[in-house]
Amino acid sequence: MQGRKKEGLFSMKPRRAYPRSQQKVLAVFLPLIALIWASISADAASAENPNDILIIVNRSVKANKIEIDELKDIFLKKRTNWSSGERAVPLNVASDPKLREEFRASVLNMSATEEKRYWQTRKIKGGDGEPAEFGNVLKAVYKLHGAVSYIYRSDYKEGIVKVVFVLEAGK
């Protein structure tokens, strides 16, 4: 046994290469596995981004999804009811100016000045005032039938309200 060299991880003897058939299989499947892994990782990262804006509604609202145009009309009070006939109650965020600005830009396609001008004009013409503002919209939406608002994903608590749309961060 003294004259024999040890085989294994620390031996001086080179490891044997994989047989040619295994090399072909590895050449096909390793890139495929890497591609699948990257795709899953990208989906998981975008699906769980804490900066996504969730459009939330009271659990009494029958709608399970909402389109951007419908959401815009509700927040500009051009539309006052859900498709089920229930009164739609839009609520703005008072406690987070950055969130409010992102929502305004993404959904209303307005700047703060344009939104202010819109509500002034509407009031002069005898229309409704702008949506009420709440510091804790999650709690307000939970308690108020027909309510709709927006929060960051990081502030969402499962089962309290329904999510009907997701505005992905950075898009």
Task: Determine the pLDDT at residue 34.
Answer: 59
CA distance 128 to 16: 80
Cα 73 to Cα 30, 77, 109: the distances in Å are 49, 6, 12
Structure tokens at 160: 């309290």
Q: Please say whether the beta carbons of 63 and 84 come within 8 A.
A: yes
Please list the pLDDT of the chain residue by residue as tens digits (171 residues).
Answer: 555 555 555 555 555 666 676 666 556 655 656 566 555 544 444 457 999 999 999 999 999 999 999 999 999 999 999 988 999 999 999 989 999 999 999 999 999 999 999 999 999 998 888 999 999 999 999 999 999 999 999 999 988 999 999 999 876
Please choose, from the candidates 61, 64, 56, the residue with its C-alpha nearest in 3D space to the C-alpha of residue 86.
61
Q: In one letter, which amino acid is 77?
A: K
Residue ranges per domain, the chain?
53-167
What is the pLDDT, as a whole number, of residue 79? 95
156 with 56: CB under 8 angstroms?
A: yes
pLDDT value at position 45? 44
Compute how many other C-beta atoms are within 10 angstroms of the C-beta atom of residue 46: 14
* Segment (H or E) for 163: strand 162-167
Tell me what pLDDT residue 114 has: 96
pLDDT in the model for residue 58: 97
Phi and psi based region of residue 145 (left: phi greater than 0; alpha: psi -120 to 50; beta: remaining): beta
The hierarchical CATH code for the domain 53-167 is 3.40.190.10
Residue-level pLDDT at 101 = 95
CB 133 within 8 A of CB 115: no
